[in-house]
Homo-oligomer: A and B are copies of this chain.
């Protein structure tokens, strides 16, 4: 009977698999095979395919026909290659049995080492290693590991037996337990196993092996693996491969050892082979931190040939994989064995440097270099971050609403934030949710922390626009705004207490965490200049003030895609005129109030046009419902009553009449323009007066006037006329002529559906994907906090649709809108100004659908530029992205998650390595900075090889 192949051998003679077979062999198996194919020394072994695992489950946890037979043949082959025997009393072959899925799932599944030991082979191992203690220690470890993994016996019983033994012996460390006691311990371990498992510990290595393989298969379905897959959207159906490999030992003497290395510095990106090595040691010893590891250079002194070979191998591997690698190796009696190689994780800074330098080395092309950076990673380069070496634990979690970290003293009102700032106090503004009147306070604070609200809540949107860090929707916070404190997980934080928030990760910390300042390198500039050459999408920024506009230009924005006029309404004394306007009883009174606002708005626009000279500036006419501007507290009312000279009760009743049940679906956007045309007239007059005054000075100004919340073409027909009339009027007053583009937002499903008609009246479309997402899903961004996170956690939604554009729903509507618009006007300018404009997968969608530009908050401009470039490159390569939304680029960087078991035997070691190197790099950077300051030399050029 011919069956499908389920076992893939690898060894010095070459391998049956290769690195292209990750789906079948898992990542680890595929790379082991690849190294064998490259004739790189790897302890021989074999990989049981993921499809064997899938068949195992499909059959109800039963061995697929013939699998045992294939395994037996492969074990025989290992015996031949190694000259050892599986179960041989004299020279026993020991095996490691490890999981290895398609996607990295560090530490989530089970591993068994030293398999093949039993009461007889342990003696042989002792003899052949010349180290009886090592043999018995390995045996008792294997017994406990096997019992835990294969027999599901709680590990604590073994641990307490060891504890009792150490107490009896009066020793503290495991290593002080003498060999005789280890023999006793092994005996006790076996009796524990017998007590829990009728058949007792299987002495037959073959039985051990098949039980171990079954256990690794089954560990695919353990709780933490399931949880991990849910988090990272790894399909349940994939199954895991199992790698069985002959054990090699780094602890057989002075010419043995074990090490871990990165082919380049994972923290700085510097092109320097970089790692640590421990003589006469196994992985466990490194984790235990018994001895201080040596550098790789120091290794050369003791085992020069192994060192030389390692250098040759790493260079060969880097050229072969064309990327920075993370490798693990062991030297057994002077002979080097590679145990693992994979693409190495790295910081954003390192990623940029490595990509640019590898392109310089002609290892990769410029387009590959651009593709190597996960666009979202750039955030790390642009904002303060919490020093990772501080190793802090957050006290609460929320949404990562606006990146960066901030330290400050807690205040609960916007006013306090402003006042404290005047006294040079740094603050974090803590609110249930912010409202437009908090703008000044948000600006004064270092960061914003809210208890409710989602990724596009007011706090989140405004904070991103300002470049303030923000953690939103931290539901664990119980805020008492009146008595000015909040309770969180057993802690009480009062006004004035220090906290730290991390808007990149969505974490809240008590006290003051150490921050790391961002620094943009020369490599960053190089990479972005390459990206700009590849991309086709223009990138604009959402900016409401000259200050924001300046930041936007600095980060490479090519115009403003959304200037929200309402934010200007809150500044200084204007809010008084705004409230007068809203609470006016007659048209006359309203016009009077508007006349006061006109010069203020004009000067705002003038400032923005000036900064953005030569680039388009899209100004949205008033959008939010008027009640957002009204006073809310009793004291606010008193103030306004005084300001306006109106009785407070009249004021309140007028204010009440503006109340709405669902303001998001209420009297806002163009509906205001239709019912109060005088407001839009004032705004257009302010815009055009600013334009004309600048034009008179010879400045190049490109205004685009945008009308929000259109649902029916007739709204636009009417308002376009109104806008055009004022435009013509003002141009006439100045004796100027120019064409001013008048367009609309497409932010309601009906607008998308009827885009063909709407385009007749519009010079441009700008998709407002925040509102479009809200209405398409019927989901309020401010209220979704109570269920949306559960939706994402439960996998009902792949990701928060306010973060990554929902392609199946909202995206389909956008496609209908684009097709409709371009059917009427083939060259219609189309952009996006929702929060999605700075999110990589959404930028890719815009590129694929023929948008002219994306617009995002100033601080996300570089991300949008890079994502746009990657989309263009991907299109050129004719490779349609099959990435899930929220991910893009060629590398998925999976963040590791703390787990009960160590992620791998090396993980702690590597963490320490990276940490050390980060600290070193920081120190060097500081030194460089100091030097730069002293010499004032222009730095930051890409170092040449």
Binding-face segment, A139-147, A521-529, A785-793? A785-793
Q: Are B662 and A664 in contact (CB under 8 A)?
A: yes
Given contacts A786-B675, A796-B714, is CB(A753)–CB(B776) below 8 Å?
A: yes
Out of B665, B754, B757, B777, which one reaches A774, CB within 8 Å?
Answer: B665
Q: Are B665 and A754 in contact (CB under 8 A)?
A: no
Q: Are B715 and A674 in contact (CB under 8 A)?
A: no
A114 within 8 Å of B by Cβ?
no
Binding-face segment, A90-98, A288-296, A807-815? A807-815
Chain B residues with CB below 8 A from A809, complex form? 711-712, 749-750, 753-754
A797 within 8 Å of B by Cβ?
yes
Chain copies in the assembled complex:
2
Nearest Cβ in chain B — how far from A655, in angstroms?
14
A374 within 8 Å of B by Cβ?
no
By beta carbon, the residue of chain B nearest A657 is: B786
Out of B665, B715, B794, B808, which one reaches A662, CB within 8 Å?
Answer: B665
Q: Are A666 and B780 in contact (CB under 8 A)?
A: yes
A178 within 8 Å of B by Cβ?
no
A284 within 8 Å of B by Cβ?
no
Given contacts A711-B777, A712-B796, A712-B797, is CB(A749)–CB(B665) below 8 Å?
A: no
Q: Are B660 and A783 in contact (CB under 8 A)?
A: yes
Bound-complex Cα distance A748 to B671 (A) = 22
Which residues 77-107 of A have a CB within 8 angstroms of B? none
Nearest Cβ in chain B — how far from A170, in angstroms?
50
A795 within 8 Å of B by Cβ?
yes
By beta carbon, the residue of chain B nearest A752 is: B749
Given contacts A790-B675, A795-B714, A809-B711, is CB(A783)–CB(B663) below 8 Å?
A: yes
By beta carbon, the residue of chain B nearest A671 is: B787
A544 within 8 Å of B by Cβ?
no
Bound-complex Cα distance A436 to B926 (A) = 66
Q: Are A674 and B790 in contact (CB under 8 A)?
A: yes
Bound-complex Cα distance A670 to B624 (A) = 29
Which residues 700-720 of A have a CB within 8 angstroms of B? 709, 711-712, 714-715, 718
Q: Are B775 and A776 in contact (CB under 8 A)?
A: yes
Chain B residues with CB below 8 A from A218, complex form? none
Bound-complex Cα distance A790 to B715 (A) = 12
A59 within 8 Å of B by Cβ?
no
Chain B residues with CB below 8 A from A778, complex form? 664-665, 709, 711, 747-750, 771, 775
Bound-complex Cα distance A783 to B667 (A) = 7
Which residues 742-792 of A have a CB within 8 angstroms of B? 747-750, 753-754, 757, 771, 774-780, 782-784, 786-787, 790-791
Q: Are B709 and A787 in contact (CB under 8 A)?
A: no
Out of B747, B753, B787, B812, which one reaches A675, CB within 8 Å?
Answer: B787
Out of B662, B664, B771, which one reaches A782, CB within 8 Å?
Answer: B662
Give a binary string over A651-693; 1 marks a CB under 8 Å from any B CB, 0 the rest.
0000000001111111100010011000000000000000000
Bound-complex Cα distance A809 to B660 (A) = 24
Bound-complex Cα distance A336 to B809 (A) = 70
Among A671, A753, A757, A806, the one with the most B-chain Cβ atoms within 10 Å of its Cβ is A753
Chain B residues with CB below 8 A from A663, complex form? 661-662, 783
Chain B residues with CB below 8 A from A796, complex form? 674, 712, 714-715, 718
Give a binary string over A710-736; 1 marks a CB under 8 Å from any B CB, 0 the rest.
011011001000000000000000000
By beta carbon, the residue of chain B nearest A779 is: B665
Among A662, A754, A775, the one with the most B-chain Cβ atoms within 10 Å of its Cβ is A662
Chain B residues with CB below 8 A from A750, complex form? 776-778, 806, 809-810
Bound-complex Cα distance A68 to B33 (A) = 100
Which residues 334-361 of A have a CB within 8 angstroms of B? none
Q: Are B661 and A797 in contact (CB under 8 A)?
A: no
Nearest Cβ in chain B — how far from A227, in angstroms?
18
Out of B754, B775, B782, B794, which one reaches A749, CB within 8 Å?
Answer: B775
Which residues 791-845 of A have a CB within 8 angstroms of B? 791, 794-797, 806, 808-810, 812-813
Nearest Cβ in chain B — how far from A723, in angstroms?
16
Chain B residues with CB below 8 A from A780, complex form? 660-662, 664-666
Chain B residues with CB below 8 A from A714, complex form? 795-797
Q: Are A783 and B662 in contact (CB under 8 A)?
A: yes
Given contacts A775-B778, A796-B718, is CB(A667)–CB(B786) below 8 Å?
A: yes
Nearest Cβ in chain B — how far from A92, in angstroms?
51
By beta carbon, the residue of chain B nearest A672 is: B787
Nearest Cβ in chain B — how far from A802, in angstroms?
12
Chain B residues with CB below 8 A from A777, complex form? 711-712, 748, 750
Out of B747, B748, B749, B791, which one reaches A674, CB within 8 Å?
Answer: B791
Bound-complex Cα distance A778 to B668 (A) = 10
Additional A-B contacts beyond A665-B778, A665-B783 (15; CB < 8 A): A661-B664, A662-B664, A662-B780, A664-B780, A665-B774, A667-B787, A674-B790, A712-B809, A715-B796, A747-B778, A748-B778, A750-B778, A753-B808, A753-B809, A754-B808
8 contacting pairs across A/B (C-beta < 8 A): A661-B780, A665-B783, A666-B784, A714-B795, A747-B778, A749-B775, A750-B809, A757-B808
Closest 3 pairs between A and B when the two form their complex, measured CB to CB: A665-B780, A750-B809, A662-B780
